[in-house]
């Protein structure tokens, strides 16, 4: 059962890593809550390089978090869980800084 959970986390990690590369290249949809919450006619205004860059970093961190969690569930090597927690807390900090500096 734990191996299956680990494999699912690794698949999620690979998918989010591929999506983060596409966001860094500014291809495809912008994966942002504000992008999906706005009406279709106003979405083009949100497609700035800064928005793509921020979305790419979020997906990149998510790929590492899921990857380390997947490796932890497969190997039960505790440092993988610690690395996942460090990436998660750094992402929370980065999001908080972004929210409070872009008001």
Q: Considering its fold, how many domains does the chain have in total?
A: 1
> What integer pLDDT is reported at residue 7 of this predicted model?
95
What sections of the chain are H helices per DSSP?
2-24, 33-37, 43-46, 49-75, 78-101
Q: What value does the mean pLDDT take over residues 82-99?
A: 84
Is residue 102 over pLDDT 70? no
Q: What is the mean predicted confidence (pLDDT) over 2-11?
A: 94
Q: What is the pLDDT of residue 72?
A: 93
Task: Give the C-alpha distances (Å, rounded to integers) separating 77 from 4, 72, 85.
Answer: 16, 6, 14
At residue 34, does pLDDT exceed 60?
Answer: yes
Range of the domain at 92: 2-101
Q: Percent of the chain, pLDDT > 70?
A: 97
């Amino acid at each position: 059962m734990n191996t299956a959970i680990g494999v699912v986390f690794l698949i999620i990690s690979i998918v989010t890593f591929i999506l983060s590369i596409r966001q860094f290249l500014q291809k495809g949809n912008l994966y942002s809550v504000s992008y999906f919450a706005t009406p279709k006619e106003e979405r083009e205004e949100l497609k700035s390089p800064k928005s793509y860059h921020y979305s790419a970093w979020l997906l990149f961190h998510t790929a590492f978090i899921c990857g380390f969690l997947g490796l932890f569930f497969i190997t039960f090597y505790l440092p993988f869980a610690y690395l996942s927690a460090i990436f998660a807390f750094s992402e929370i900090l980065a999001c908080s800084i972004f929210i409070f500096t872009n008001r």
